[in-house]
Amino acid sequence: MTPRINAGMTLAAVGMMLVMASVYRLPEWEQAVITQFGRPVGSAVTAAGLHLKVPFVQRVRRIDKRILNWDGYPNQIPTKDKKYIEVDTTARWRIVDPLLFIQTVQTEDGARRRLDGILDAITRDTISNHNLVEAVRNTNAILDQIKTRAEKLKKGEISPGDDEEITGEIEPVHVGREALSAIIIKRAAVELKQFGIELIDVQLRRIAYESSVEAKVYDRMTSERQRIAQRIRSVGQGERAKIQGKTNRDLLKIQSEAYRKAQSIKGAADAEAIAIYARAVSGDPQFYEFIRTLEAYKKAIPADTRMILSTDNKFLDLLRQK
Amino acid sequence: MRQIRHRRVGDKKATICIMAERWDDEEQPSSWSDEFRQRFEGRWPIPRQTVLGILGGLLAFAGVVSSAYTVEPEQEAVILRFGRYVSTEPPGLHFKLPFGIDSAIKVRTKVILQEEFGFRTKGTEGTRSAYDENFRQESMTLTGDLNVADVEWILQYQISDPQKYLFQARNVLTNIRDISQSIMRRVVGDRLVSDVLTVGRVEITEEAQRLTQEVLDRYNMGIRIVTIKLQDVNPPEPVKPAFNDVNRAKQEQEQAINQAEEQYNKIIPESEGKAEQTIQDAEGYATSLINRARGDAGRFTAMLQTYRSAPGATRTRLYLEAMEELYGRFKELTLIDPSIKGVLPIFGAPALKESPAPGGHP
């Protein structure tokens, strides 16, 4: 009995080893290629779970089946319009043909090197074949915006002081950022297919001016702002002048209208007074003249006047007849 | 048997003995184990069944320990059987198949996680957070008019589907960061720098959130973006003074307009009052003029009526009275007979100057 137990235990151990060697587990995020003495056998295993293989002879090469990242080294690329920019790209990729992948690039590191080569070159080509705006802007929405703003300005819905931005020419976009990405993806995907790699996307993560250009860009921004500030100030001065003009206009209008009214009131009064005098005087004009002249003498000739008179006048008649 | 061999083969005794011994050795295990058992059966106080029971118990305990698991309130657990997805379990105490047949991966699905772009929260100093702002590369963004803005933002997200989160992408966080940066640059790239800095903020966040979510959904990453919020958005440091100058210019503009309005408000109502005054004055003048005219006319008419009764006498009287008064106020009166000729030289130049109106005829 005792030897039999021992034998059973041994058998169990051996059996266990056999089972362990002929079974492998594949998690959801992996796929496997079975190799026999280094040569791939059958097609790739992609379903997760427990799988069988020939023990000891076959080996399991595990390969990730999730989306993987590629992070490009920031490149300095001149655009078509000769602007030097730094382009930082990232990509997402996936191993869709593990067999081909193992045969052509073997490891993820190997794949990354290929991705580096292919994506860098294609990104460089694509960027330098287009103007800078194509990599910055996606649409021409900005132009529409400027247009509507200009219309609003024309209609007077916004005051010229609020509008600071219409500065320089804004170049229209013909391709756009997304489309540039699409071009890169399309071209790179073809080349990566031969490695069993599916390229999911390429994102232009960062586009920045190169540091030497940056200073110039800042200078331009500064001068642009200065121009805008100047414009705002002069609009302010203009508005002030307008208001001052309006002030003067209103002032003169008010004053002249008052003058006109006053004059016409006075004129009417004068006319009426003349009529009143005329009516009264017409009774005896000579008498009026006589009285009025005497009154005028009294008023017009001041006291303490030094007078030289000829005796030849009516008042002095008696004086003369000596 | 041993003894027989010894007797028959004398010379070769030694060899045979060795062989025999070796044979004996191979027989040994059974006898050794018997011996072992006997020895222990004699001395071991615990019976064999108990030992087995304890072993079985240990095994069962290990089974329970490796099958029970707790999912914390903020978590969900993804259960894999031999690596294949089986189910997703909510918080609480759960059991799975033991000994590594099932494995549970716990994912913090309820927690809202935050990613920062252009800055990092370093920790807290007292009651406020301290930030590290030294991530210019992340935040410097080209705008649609090819200017540069320093855009900082945060992204808050939640793992909405742990299964997708675990199985779809190896490094979900890197993907989120890459995509968010790319999208933010795209959204900002379609706007003017002034809009980015001022009025466009809400619009930018909304669009960035929508587009980022779209991309993440396309890659099936099991991520739900809770919110994207713009933080500090500034012009680049060297350009700041110029931007501030624009703001100052706006202030000045407003000030200039306000001053002019003030001037207007000061001058116009006053002049309106003055105009009113002028008109009132004119009316006063009119009233007084007419009244005087009427008065004068009335007086004259009255005088005339009386005068008509004795015209000659009245006329003479009036004349003499007037002359009387008039001559009475002269300071100096020189009377010259008309027959005297060349009288002027008498007076000399100074006298002439003092009386500019000589020789009046009444």
Distance, in Å, from the CA atom of A25 to the CA atom of A184, rounded to the nearest integer, reads 38
Give A263's contacts in chain B (Cβ within 8 Å). Answer: 282
Torsion of CA A163, A165, A171, A174, to 10 degrees: -70
Is residue A161 within 8 A of residue B250, CB to CB? The reply is yes
Q: Would B39 be classed as within a structural domain? A: yes
Give A84's contacts in chain B (Cβ within 8 Å). Answer: none
pLDDT, tens only, B287-302? 999 999 999 889 888 8
Give A298's contacts in chain B (Cβ within 8 Å). Answer: 322, 325-326
Give Cβ neighbours of residue B226 (< 8 Å, ≥ 6 apart): B112, B156, B157, B158
Q: Which residue of B has its CA nearest to A266?
A: B286
For residue B362, name the pLDDT band (cuts at 50, 70, 90): very low
Strand extents, DSSP E, B133-252: 140-142, 148-159, 223-234
Q: Which residue of B has its CA nearest to A83?
A: B146
Record: contact A280-B279, CB cut-off 8 A: no
Two structure tokens written together for B26? 């191979």
Q: Which residue of A has its CA nearest to B243?
A: A225
Q: Which helix (H) or strand (E) holds A262?
A: helix A211-281
Record: contact A263-B189, CB cut-off 8 A: no
Which residues sit opposite B332 in a β-bridge?
Answer: A306
Mean per-residue pLDDT, B121-128: 70
Do B147 and B101 share a structural domain?
no
Backbone dihedral region of B293: left (phi > 0), alpha (psi from -120 to 50 degrees) or beta?
alpha
Q: What CATH number does residue B177 fall under?
A: 3.30.479.30
Do B192 and B101 share a structural domain?
no
Distance, in Å, from the CA atom of A171 to the CA atom of A131, rounded to the nearest integer, reads 10
Q: Would B290 be classed as within a structural domain? A: no
Residue A320 identity (one-letter amino acid):
R
Give A314's contacts in chain B (Cβ within 8 Å). Answer: 319, 362
Please name the residues between 66 and 125 in chain A that touch chain B, using a CB distance below 8 Å: 66-69, 71, 90, 92
Q: How many CB atoms lie within 10 A of CB A22?
A: 15
Record: contact A221-B147, CB cut-off 8 A: yes
Mean per-residue pLDDT, B149-171: 89
Give Cβ neighbours of residue A86 (< 8 Å, ≥ 6 apart): A74, A75, A76, A77, A206, A207, A208, A209, A210
pLDDT, tens only, B203-225? 899 999 999 999 989 888 889 99
Record: contact A205-B334, CB cut-off 8 A: no
Q: Would B258 be classed as within a structural domain? A: no
Which residues sit opposite B87 in a β-bridge?
Answer: B79
Backbone dihedral region of A287: left (phi > 0), alpha (psi from -120 to 50 degrees) or beta?
alpha
State the greatest distance between any 2 C-alpha atoms of chain A, in Å, as a whole number. Answer: 201
Tell me the fold of A68-235: Tetrahydropterin Synthase; Chain A (3.30.479)
Q: Which residue of A has its CA nearest to B301?
A: A280
The pLDDT of residue B18 is 42
- Above pLDDT 90, what percent of chain B? 13
Mean per-residue pLDDT, B81-97: 84
Question: Distance (Å) from the C-alpha of residue B55 to the closest C-alpha of chain A?
Answer: 16
Do B57 and B28 share a structural domain?
no
3-state SS, residue A129: coil
Question: Distance (Å) from the C-alpha of residue B87 to the closest C-alpha of chain A?
Answer: 13
Angle, CA of A13, A17 and A23, to the nearest 5°: 140
Q: Would B73 be classed as within a structural domain? A: yes
**Is residue B88's pLDDT more than 50?**
yes
Do B224 and B117 share a structural domain?
yes
For residue B9, name the pLDDT band (cuts at 50, 70, 90): very low
The residues spanned by each domain of chain A are 2-64, 68-235, 236-301
Angle, CA of A171, A174 and A178, to the nearest 5°: 110
Torsion of CA A142, B186, B164, B227, to 10 degrees: -70
Q: Which residue of A has its CA nearest to B195?
A: A165
Do B138 and B103 share a structural domain?
no
Is residue A62 within 8 A of residue A48, CB to CB? The reply is no
The pLDDT of residue B41 is 58
The pLDDT of residue A29 is 86
How far does CA A169 lie from the centroid of its chain? Answer: 14
Is residue B115 within 8 A of residue B154, CB to CB? The reply is yes
Distance, in Å, from the CA atom of B139 to the CA atom of B315, rounded to the nearest integer, reads 111
**Is residue B21's pLDDT more than 50?**
no
* Residue pLDDT tens, chain A, 322 long: 466 777 888 888 888 888 888 888 888 888 888 888 878 887 888 888 888 888 888 888 888 888 999 988 888 888 888 888 888 899 999 898 888 888 888 888 888 898 898 999 999 999 899 888 888 888 888 788 777 877 877 776 666 555 555 555 677 888 888 888 899 999 998 888 888 889 998 988 888 888 888 888 888 888 888 888 888 888 888 888 999 999 999 999 999 999 999 999 999 999 999 999 888 888 888 888 888 888 898 888 887 778 777 777 778 778 776 5
Question: Distance (Å) from the C-alpha of residue A5 to the closest C-alpha of chain B?
Answer: 12
Q: Which residue of A has its CA nearest to B238?
A: A218
Question: Distance (Å) from the C-alpha of residue B137 to the closest C-alpha of chain A?
Answer: 8
Q: Would B24 be classed as within a structural domain? A: yes
Q: Would B162 be classed as within a structural domain? A: yes
Question: Distance (Å) from the C-alpha of residue B160 to the closest C-alpha of chain A?
Answer: 18
Q: From the list B82, B140, B320, which residue is nearest A25 (CB)?
A: B82
Strand extents, DSSP E, chain B: 68-71, 76-81, 84-89, 92-95, 102-107, 113-117, 120-125, 128-132, 140-142, 148-159, 223-234, 330-336
Q: Find tokens 């030097």 and name the residue.
A: A84
ipTM: 0.74
The pLDDT of residue B333 is 79
Buried b (16+ CB within 10 A) or exposed e, B34-64: eeeeeeeeeeeeeeeeeeeeeeeeeeeeeee
Is residue B278 within 8 A of residue A259, CB to CB? The reply is yes
Which residues sit opposite B225 in a β-bridge?
Answer: B157
Residue A58: closest CA among A46, A76, A74, A40: A40
B282 or B98, greater pLDDT: B282
Interface test with B, best of A134, A221, A298, A304 (most B CBs within 10 A): A221
Q: From the list B146, B166, B170, which residue is nearest A136 (CB)?
A: B146
Q: Would B333 be classed as within a structural domain? A: no
Number of domains in chain B: 3
Two structure tokens written together for B135? 């991530």
Give A224's contacts in chain B (Cβ within 8 Å). Answer: 147, 242
**Is residue B348's pLDDT more than 60?**
no
Do B38 and B58 share a structural domain?
no
Do B174 and B141 share a structural domain?
yes
Is residue B254 within 8 A of residue A162, CB to CB? The reply is no
Question: Distance (Å) from the C-alpha of residue B332 to the closest C-alpha of chain A?
Answer: 4
Question: Distance (Å) from the C-alpha of residue A62 to the closest C-alpha of chain B?
Answer: 13
**Is residue B307's pLDDT more than 50?**
yes
pTM value is 0.69
Residue B183: closest CA among B159, B151, B158: B151
For residue B285, name the pLDDT band (cuts at 50, 70, 90): very high
Do B21 and B71 share a structural domain?
no
Q: From the list B83, B281, B360, which residue is nearest A49 (CB)?
A: B83
Give A281's contacts in chain B (Cβ within 8 Å). Answer: 300
- Domain-terminating residue out of B214, B235, B256: B235
**Is residue B78's pLDDT more than 50?**
yes
Range of the structural domain that residue B33 is part of: 2-45
Weakest mean pLDDT among A66-75, B116-125, B181-190, B254-263: B116-125
Give A119's contacts in chain B (Cβ within 8 Å). Answer: none
Do B192 and B103 share a structural domain?
no
Do B74 and B151 share a structural domain?
no
* Burial label, A15 (beta-carbon count in 10 A; 0-12, 13-18, 19+): exposed
Is residue B151 within 8 A of residue B184, CB to CB? The reply is yes
- Domain-terminating residue out of B235, B259, B282: B235
**Is residue B32's pLDDT more than 80?**
no
Do B222 and B138 share a structural domain?
yes
Q: Is A268 on the interface with B (CB under 8 A)?
A: yes
Q: From the list A281, A304, A315, which residue is nearest B300 (CB)?
A: A281
Is residue A170 within 8 A of residue A132, CB to CB? The reply is no
Do B78 and B95 share a structural domain?
yes
Distance, in Å, from the CA atom of B16 to the CA atom of A41, rounded to the nearest integer, reads 56
Q: Would B79 be classed as within a structural domain? A: yes
Question: Distance (Å) from the C-alpha of residue B270 to the closest C-alpha of chain A?
Answer: 9
